[in-house]
Amino acid sequence: MSINKQTDVTENTKETGGFAETVKTVLYAVLIAFGVRTFAFEPFNIPSGSMIPTLLVGDYLFVSKFSYGYSKHTVAFGFPLFQGRIFESIPERGDVAVFKLPRDNKTDYIKRVVGLPGDTVQVLGGVLHINGQPVKRERIEDYVTTDALGREIREAQYIETLPNGRSHRIIEESDNGPLDNTPLYTVPQRHVFMMGDNRDNSLDSRVASQVGYVPLENMVGRAEFLFFSLEDGTRFFEVWRWPVDLRFSRLFSGVN
| Catalytic positions | 50, 111
The closest of 161, 197, 199 to 179, measured between CA atoms, is 199
Q: What is the 3-state secondary structure (H, E, C) of 218-231?
A: HEEEEEEEEEEEEC
Annotate 92-109 with b (16+ C-beta within 10 A) or e (fewer): ebbbbbbbbbbeeeeeeb
Residues with Cβ within 8 Å of residue 50, at least 6 apart in sequence: 110, 111, 196, 197, 198, 201, 202, 203, 204
Q: What is the 3-state secondary structure (H, E, C) of 157-195?
A: EEEEECCCCCEEEEEECCCCCCCCCCCCEECCCCEEEEE
Q: What's the rounded Cα separation, in Å, for the pair 19 and 245?
A: 42
Concatenated DSSP letters for 73-133? Answer: TTSGGG----SSEES--PPPTT-EEEEE-TTTS-SEEEEEEEE-TT-EEEEETTEEEETTE
Residues with Cβ within 8 Å of residue 150, at least 6 apart in sequence: none
The HSE-up count of residue 133 (CA atoms within 13 Å, CB side) is: 10
